[in-house]
Structure 1
Amino acid sequence: MFRKFRILPTRRGWKKFLLLVAFASFACCVIHMRIKLTIDHSWLDFTDIEPEDKCNCTKILQQDPEEIEQAKILSITVDFRKKIRTTDEQFIELARDCDKFIQMRKYLTTPLTQEEEEFPIAYSIVIHHKIQTFERLLRSIYAPQNFYCIHVDKKSPPSFLSAVLRITSCFENVFISSRLENVVYASWSRVQADINCMKDLYSRNTTWKYFLNLCGQDFPLKTNLEIVRKLKALKGKNSLETEKTPAGKEVRWKKHHEVVKGVLERTNKDKDPPPIDIPVFCGGAYIVVTRDFVGFVLKDPKALKFIEWAKDGYSPDEFLWATLQRMPSTPGSIPSNFRYDVTDVNSIARLVKWQFFEGVQSKGAMYPPCSGRHVRAVCVYGAGDLGWMLQQHHLFANKFDTDMDPFAVRCLEKYLRHQALKALI
Structure 2
Amino acid sequence: MIAYLILVHRFPEQFKRMFQAIYVPGNQYLIHVDQRSGPDMTADIAAFLNPYINVAMLPSRKMLWGGYSLVDAELRGMAKLLEMNADWRYFINLSGQDFPLKSQAYIADYLASHDGTEFIRNVPQQAVRPDTMNRLSHYFVEAFNRIVRTGVRRRAMSGITPYIGTQWKAVTREFCAFACHNPAARRFKQFYRRTLIADEGFFQTLMMNAFPGGKVVNDDLRTIDWIPDGDIKLRPRTFVTRDALRLTLSPDLFARKFDAQEDSHILDLLEAHLLTPAANTLPAPGEPHATLLQASGRIASPA
Normalised TM-score (structure 1): 0.61
Q: Structure 1, residues 192-241: CA drift from partner, whole Å, max 9, x if none?
A: 11111111100111000100001111111111111112212323110110
Distance 2:3 2:82 in 1: 9
Distance 1:150 1:403 in 2: 22
Distance 1:229 1:239 in 2: 15
Distance 1:376 1:176 in 2: 31
Decide which structure has greater helix share: 1
Distance 1:289 1:296 in 2: 11
Q: 2:213 corresponds to which residue?
A: 331
Q: 2:273 corresponds to which residue?
A: 415
Distance 1:422 1:284 in 2: 26
3-state SS of the aligned residue for 2:94? strand
Q: Residue 396 of structure 1: CA displacement?
A: 0.9
Q: 1:256 corresponds to which residue?
A: 139
Whichever residue aligns with residue 156 of structure 1, its letter is: S
Q: Residue 320 of structure 1: CA displacement?
A: 0.9
Whichever residue aligns with residue 397 of structure 1, its letter is: A
Choose between structure 1 and 2 for higher RCO, CA contacts under 8 A separated by at least 6 residues. 2
Matches within 5 A, 1:59-208: 120-177=1-58, 179-208=59-88
Q: Structure 1, residues 304-340: CA drift from partner, whole Å, max 9, x if none?
A: 2211210111110111121122125332354xxxxx8
Q: 1:184 to 1:377 in 2, by over 3 A?
A: closer
Gaps of 5+ in 2: 282-303
Preserved contact between residue 220 and residue 397 of structure 1 (Cα < 8 Å):
yes
Q: Residue 190 of structure 1: CA displacement?
A: 1.2
Aligned pair partner of 2:106 in 212, 215, 226? 226
**2:169 is the alignment partner of 1:297:** no
Whichever residue aligns with residue 109 of structure 2, its letter is: R
Preserved contact between residue 274 and residue 280 of structure 2 (Cα < 8 Å):
no
Give the alignment's Cα RMSD to 1 decimal: 2.0
Whichever residue aligns with residue 396 of structure 1, its letter is: F
Distance 1:325 1:174 in 2: 28
Distance 1:158 1:278 in 2: 41
Q: Residue 392 of structure 1: CA displacement?
A: 2.2
Preserved contact between residue 248 and residue 273 of structure 2 (Cα < 8 Å):
no
Which consecutive segments of 4 or more residues in structure 1 shift more than 6 A?
A: 420-423
Distance 2:266 2:162 in 1: 37
Preserved contact between residue 183 and residue 190 of structure 1 (Cα < 8 Å):
yes
Q: Residue 158 of structure 1: CA displacement?
A: 2.2
3-state SS of the aligned residue for 2:150? strand
Q: 2:194 corresponds to which residue?
A: 312
Q: Structure 1, residues 8-31: CA drift from partner, whole Å, max 9, x if none?
A: xxxxxxxxxxxxxxxxxxxxxxxx
Q: 2:149 corresponds to which residue?
A: 266
Distance 1:377 1:247 in 2: 19
Q: Structure 1, residues 359-413: CA drift from partner, whole Å, max 9, x if none?
A: xxxxxxxxxxxxxxxx964210001112112222221111011011101111101
Preserved contact between residue 287 and residue 321 of structure 1 (Cα < 8 Å):
no
Identity %, equivalent residues? 27
Q: Structure 1, residues 47-95: CA drift from partner, whole Å, max 9, x if none?
A: xxxxxxxxxxxxxxxxxxxxxxxxxxxxxxxxxxxxxxxxxxxxxxxxx
Preserved contact between residue 226 and residue 234 of structure 2 (Cα < 8 Å):
no
Whichever residue aligns with residue 170 of structure 2, its letter is: V
Q: Residue 265 of structure 1: CA displacement?
A: 1.8
Distance 1:125 1:305 in 2: 26
**2:121 is the alignment partner of 1:241:** yes
Aligned pair partner of 2:227 in 355, 362, 367? 355
Preserved contact between residue 325 and residue 332 of structure 1 (Cα < 8 Å):
no
Q: 2:237 corresponds to which residue?
A: 379
How many residues are paired up? Answer: 274
Distance 2:6 2:30 in 1: 6
Preserved contact between residue 118 and residue 214 of structure 2 (Cα < 8 Å):
yes
Preserved contact between residue 223 and residue 419 of structure 1 (Cα < 8 Å):
no
Structure label with greater radius of gyration: 1
Q: 1:348 to 1:222 in 2, by over 3 A?
A: farther
Preserved contact between residue 241 and residue 265 of structure 2 (Cα < 8 Å):
yes
Aligned pair partner of 2:169 in 287, 296, 313? 287
Q: Residue 278 of structure 1: CA displacement?
A: 3.2
Q: Structure 1, residues 267-317: CA drift from partner, whole Å, max 9, x if none?
A: 211123225x33101111011100011000011111122112101111101
Distance 2:257 2:137 in 1: 29
Normalised TM-score (structure 2): 0.85
Q: Residue 421 of structure 1: CA displacement?
A: 9.9
Decide which structure has greater strand share: 2
Preserved contact between residue 238 and residue 290 of structure 1 (Cα < 8 Å):
yes
3-state SS of the aligned residue for 2:130? coil
